[in-house]
Chains A and B, each alone.
Chain A
């Protein structure tokens, strides 16, 4: 009972009044007149002194505890959450102190937890490869992550605080964003942006309880996906076109034979030859396709051996001589007597060379020439196939190495347009590069490099 503050104060007051009354009674009864007044004054003064002293003594601990609590609370408002009050009090105030300490600890724990979650989320936002933009109720940007800066060609420092419309000026996207905010419903949209251009998917999520953040927009870059899709579509359409033409010819010939031409030996022979030619063409196409897919999918599967490159070139040129002669084109070879060794797949390199020389001959009119040369420099062997043919137009130059690309459509009957694509893949699989220079009417020069084998690197410069 004495521990309670309430009782202590009450007891003190009671004691004081008691003592005062007793003293007054004694004094009044012991003295009379003027001396009684003096004695009363002395007793009162003494009484006040005792009261003050005992009051202070009894409440000292309490006041100290209250002061400590106040200081701790203030420290917490200033952000120093890790507070603990050491008060030696076993009364009601003691309860308060104990509870306060518990509260301080709990708050500290909660804040640490929230802070960690915040750091994790921030890391997720900042590192995401998807663009993230948060907007407030009025569609002004509240947050923008680095990926969004890249995708939207914007800078967070300039964009934050401004309406989203200023950054992405698309009225349809803006309308959907407003719908998302007003109807609190997820919206999906697509956006074409920037000079490249980029195709983005935009998904808008309304947020509740996010304070400033009323909606989150997630931007995903679909440009690459679309491009690959388009390539695939083109490829399929090209292949089916290339297959359809010879098949139609064969079908027509077969029908004609079945309708009666088979009874006329000469005509029948003629048709059979035609069919045979088309079948050859189809076979050639299929094997080119297979070759291309093999090269593209398993470039590492080259059969690498050290090669005598000069001999390889000579062999390729020799093989193509008959074709050159038939077309009235001069085919020549110009190589130094000694070339550094290269490590490569002989069969594939032969094919690449053959494709290049074949093209050169094909597009050079009679009387022209095709020259194959090679030289070693800077650690590579550069091989050139130069022709005096019809050349390639500027706008086609960048695309000649694409599958099925044929610059001169009028010659679409010969080959499938895969030769250069195959050559390019073979060269690149060996770690080299291929390029072309050309002038319409004057001719073209195809150049490709092959890295020299490492052991001879010192000698090849």
Chain B
């Protein structure tokens, strides 16, 4: 009987995690869209909505703690709840990075953004893909998918390198672009961090399934 109650509560918490994931995914997408289309209104909204994400994260944490206190789960069940606690932390940090991108967008005065742009768009597509797939892996308890997602992180790091080189060379050629390009580098940095957090989520998924907490092997990354 308690098993039934616990199971139901766990499912509800899991749904809440997915809702949080969706909010974060949208925040990331919107922050980049606002940056690219110079939509200051949208940027402001992204910054404001971060509060909602934070509130949701704490709400889920509360529920987890409550379930742990009242149901006192053991072994695998306990792992699931602990994994969830870490995952929502990562999600909330990702949203913070999205908010950061929103703030940067408001700081950039230029009317249009110079060239590292295509690669930034590729970066955000990859980062969002990673987030989406890591939550897929979480829902399905899919270790193979979790590991596959971590491989994509290499692509994101590679894009970051390209953007860096591109931005620096442009800064040398056109000094008046230095402020804007520096801001864009920060944006790229935020995206790289977002992608990295997805790999954290994947590690938690592996932990949830296997009971082992380990770093998933990736190619050596500079970041």
Q: Which residues of A contact B (CB under 8 A)?
A: 163, 165-166, 169-172, 174, 195, 395
Binds A, one of B16-24, B58-66, B98-106, B177-185: B16-24
Q: Which of B22, B118, B129, B135 contacts A171 (CB 8 A)?
A: B22
A169 and B118 contact, CB distance less than 8 A? no
* Shortest Cβ-Cβ A-B pairs, 9 listed: A171-B22, A171-B19, A169-B22, A171-B23, A169-B18, A170-B22, A165-B18, A165-B15, A166-B139
B132 interface hit (Cβ, 8 Å)? yes
Complex interface bits, B116-144 against A, C-beta within 8 A gives 1, otherwise 0: 00100000000001001001000100000
A170–B15 Cα gap in the complex (Å)?
11
**Residues of chain A with a CB closer than 8 A to B26's CB:** 170-172
Q: A165-B15, A169-B22, A169-B132 are in contact. List 14 more A-B contacts (CB 8 A).
A: A163-B11, A163-B15, A165-B18, A169-B18, A169-B135, A170-B22, A171-B20, A171-B22, A171-B23, A171-B26, A172-B26, A174-B19, A174-B22, A195-B129
Q: Which of A169, A172, A195, A395 contacts B21 (CB 8 A)?
A: A169
A171–B19 Cα gap in the complex (Å)?
5
A43 to chain B, nearest CB (A): 70
Give the total number of A-B pairs whose CB atoms are below 8 A apart. Answer: 27
A172–B27 Cα gap in the complex (Å)?
12
Q: Which residues of B contact A (CB under 8 A)?
A: 11, 15, 18-23, 25-26, 118, 129, 132, 135, 139
A174–B56 Cα gap in the complex (Å)?
15
A212–B18 Cα gap in the complex (Å)?
24
A165–B132 Cα gap in the complex (Å)?
13
B179 to chain A, nearest CB (A): 25
A163–B15 Cα gap in the complex (Å)?
8
Name 7 A/B residue pairs within 8 A (Cβ), A-sorted. A165-B18, A166-B139, A169-B19, A170-B22, A171-B19, A171-B22, A195-B129
Chain B interface, DSSP helix/strand/loop, else mixed: helix
B19 and A165 contact, CB distance less than 8 A? yes
A159 to chain B, nearest CB (A): 12
**Residues of chain A with a CB closer than 8 A to B118's CB:** 395
**Residues of chain B with a CB closer than 8 A to A174's CB:** 19, 22
A136–B219 Cα gap in the complex (Å)?
46
Which of B15, B25, B26, B118 has most chain A Cβ within 10 Å? B15
A169–B137 Cα gap in the complex (Å)?
13
Q: Which residue of A lies closest to B135 (CB)?
A: A169
Q: Which residue of A lies closest to B21 (CB)?
A: A169
A66–B94 Cα gap in the complex (Å)?
76
**Residues of chain B with a CB closer than 8 A to A171's CB:** 19-20, 22-23, 26
**Residues of chain A with a CB closer than 8 A to B135's CB:** 169
A140 to chain B, nearest CB (A): 10
**Residues of chain A with a CB closer than 8 A to B25's CB:** 169
A174–B129 Cα gap in the complex (Å)?
20
A195–B15 Cα gap in the complex (Å)?
23
A170–B18 Cα gap in the complex (Å)?
8
**Residues of chain A with a CB closer than 8 A to B139's CB:** 166
**Residues of chain A with a CB closer than 8 A to B19's CB:** 165, 169, 171, 174
Which of A170, A171, A195 has most chain B Cβ within 10 Å? A171
A171–B16 Cα gap in the complex (Å)?
9
**Residues of chain B with a CB closer than 8 A to A172's CB:** 22, 26
B55 to chain A, nearest CB (A): 13
Q: Which residue of A lies closest to B20 (CB)?
A: A171
Q: Which residue of B lies closest to A170 (CB)?
A: B22
A447 to chain B, nearest CB (A): 27
B11 to chain A, nearest CB (A): 8
**Residues of chain B with a CB closer than 8 A to A395's CB:** 118
B115 to chain A, nearest CB (A): 11
**Residues of chain A with a CB closer than 8 A to B21's CB:** 169
Q: Which residue of A lies closest to B12 (CB)?
A: A163
**Residues of chain A with a CB closer than 8 A to B132's CB:** 169
A169–B132 Cα gap in the complex (Å)?
9
A234 to chain B, nearest CB (A): 15
A395–B21 Cα gap in the complex (Å)?
33
A171–B18 Cα gap in the complex (Å)?
8
B40 to chain A, nearest CB (A): 22
**Residues of chain B with a CB closer than 8 A to A170's CB:** 22, 26
**Residues of chain A with a CB closer than 8 A to B11's CB:** 163
A86–B129 Cα gap in the complex (Å)?
71
**Residues of chain B with a CB closer than 8 A to A163's CB:** 11, 15
Q: Which residue of B lies closest to A195 (CB)?
A: B129
A140–B4 Cα gap in the complex (Å)?
18
A256 to chain B, nearest CB (A): 32
A169–B25 Cα gap in the complex (Å)?
10
A171–B26 Cα gap in the complex (Å)?
9
A163–B11 Cα gap in the complex (Å)?
10
Which of A163, A169, A195, A395 has most chain B Cβ within 10 Å? A169
A182 to chain B, nearest CB (A): 16
**Residues of chain A with a CB closer than 8 A to B22's CB:** 169-172, 174
**Residues of chain B with a CB closer than 8 A to A195's CB:** 129
